[in-house]
Amino acid sequence: MRRPRRLVRLALAVALVTGLAGTAAAAPPDTGASKSDNITHLASVPMTGPLTGGVNTDIAFAGTKAYVGNYAGFAVYDVADPAEPRMISQVSCPGSQNDISVYGGLLFLSTDQSRSDSSCQSVPQSPTIKGSWEGIKIFDVRDPANPRYVAAVETKCGSHTHTLVPEPSKRSVYIYNSSYFPHATYPDCQPPNDRIDIVKVPLRNPAGAAVVASPVLFPDGGFPGSETGYETSGCHDITAFPARRIAAAACMGDGVLLDISRPAAPRVIDRVQDAENFSFWHGATFNGDGTKVVFMDELGGGGGAECNEAVGPDKGATAIFDIKHRKLTFRSYYKIPRHQAEQENCVSHNGSLIPVRGRDIMVQAWYQGGFSVWDFTDSAHPKEIGYFDRPPRRPASFGGYWSVYYYNGTIYGTESVTAFDTFKISDRRTDPAEKVKLSELNVQTQPAFWG
């Protein structure tokens, strides 16, 4: 799958296709939506141009810009006024799932689909073909209105998601690459895939980015699988907490706590499993000082209707763990308290912390379950304090919020198949968070809001 550097550069030089820009916010289409009184839907920007028909995925933030991944590429929004977000550029660059992050004027995009080459004009190609490509693409977004494709790094099993870990000197950034589902017929993605790939990106020379390490996290093979739980064959998502030199890895059948004191050589310090209730360890979020972590279970893979009475409160949920002496201790589960219709895809998904000193509060997406704002200050007794939930899609189809994050006083959400949305929460429990202002946010690289 590796290609000569000269050919890679040629592919990159012709890769960029910038779509329509200037799409303004529309009045939120909230007919029939239920919500708590403390949530206000500010605006909705519909998909347009080359991203129409794709699936909105993750969000990253830098200054007054929001960068939204989409299976068909990515879009950049000006959110200086969250009530009137404006699309300023979009790039057509298909490749599931286009997980996204930004750092130092660079944008990183995960390609978890075997393609004919690394260009944005590539086409799907079987992973059984040795020359197929998948991995991480790098764009220069110092001018957000004109993103420029500058480099690509191939990884053996592709890139489903990735996590940034800045080098202490700030000269480089490490990318922890997550991938899974190897197969004996894939020349470059062979079982057991018990490792992660680590890419080092020199910020002044991103074209020099390369895989520098592939540490094995599961020398014993990890969780062997069960009737309801996936066998561990890689990681889905990793969240780093650089200030405490730790990271939490959600790895299919395992939840892992890592020591990242040496970014290129992370070390497993604790590991937990939940064969009874967890199906697929999907993601993680720390609290504000890194003394707790919640893990999400993506039962049904995001397409299942897992928020009905039959499934119950402990499956497809979020598990809360306290961290003490660098060990994980399970405390409870959290799941939205509203049963969804049998045809609504709904499960625990991507969320972020709302930074309130002395409290642990986060906002979290639940696909067609909408989003929930919930408090886990008491780890054993989490409770919801706000929500937004639309009625089922008619006719029944996939949809709902993929990622919902809090950034500088506003809640932002990617409605998977329709729009980029903004919300305001007004509540005495969350209002103090408005004092926290960030210049950049990649949710899977959590800042220490206080020590």
Q: Is the pLDDT of residue 2 over 90?
A: no
Nearest Cα residue to 390 out of 145, 33, 134: 33
Amino acid at 314: D
Residue 29's pLDDT is 66
- For residues 385-411, average pLDDT: 97
- For residues 404-409, average pLDDT: 98
Name, in order, each residue with C-beta under 8 angstroms of 414's C-beta and a sequence gap of 6 or more.
56, 57, 58, 59, 68, 365, 401, 402, 403, 404, 420, 421
H or E segment to which residue 12 belongs? helix 5-13
Summary count for the chain: helices (H), strands (E) = 1, 30
d(C-alpha 204, C-alpha 219), whole Å: 36
Residue 18's pLDDT is 58
Task: Say what the pTM is.
Answer: 0.95
What are the two backbone dihedrals, phi and then psi, of residue 242, each rounded to the nearest 5 degrees?
-55, -35
Nearest Cα residue to 139 out of 59, 201, 194: 201
d(C-alpha 156, C-alpha 191), whole Å: 11
CA of 59: how far to CAs of 149, 341, 389, in Å?
19, 27, 20
Kindly report the average pLDDT of the chain as a whole number. Answer: 94
Instruction: Kindly report, residue by residue over 207-265, the tens digit of the pLDDT.
Output: 999 999 999 999 999 999 999 999 999 999 999 999 999 999 999 999 999 999 999 99
Rounded percentage of the chain residues whose pLDDT exceeds 70: 94
Instruction: Kindly report, residue by residue over 65-119, the tens digit of the pLDDT.
Output: 999 999 999 999 999 999 999 999 999 999 999 999 999 999 999 999 999 999 9
CA 30, 35, 40, 43 torsion-angle sign: negative
Domains and CATH numbers, the chain: 5-441 (2.130.10.10)
Q: Is the pLDDT of residue 328 over 70?
A: yes
Say if residues 377 and 360 touch (Cβ distance below 8 Å): yes
Say if residues 248 and 446 touch (Cβ distance below 8 Å): no
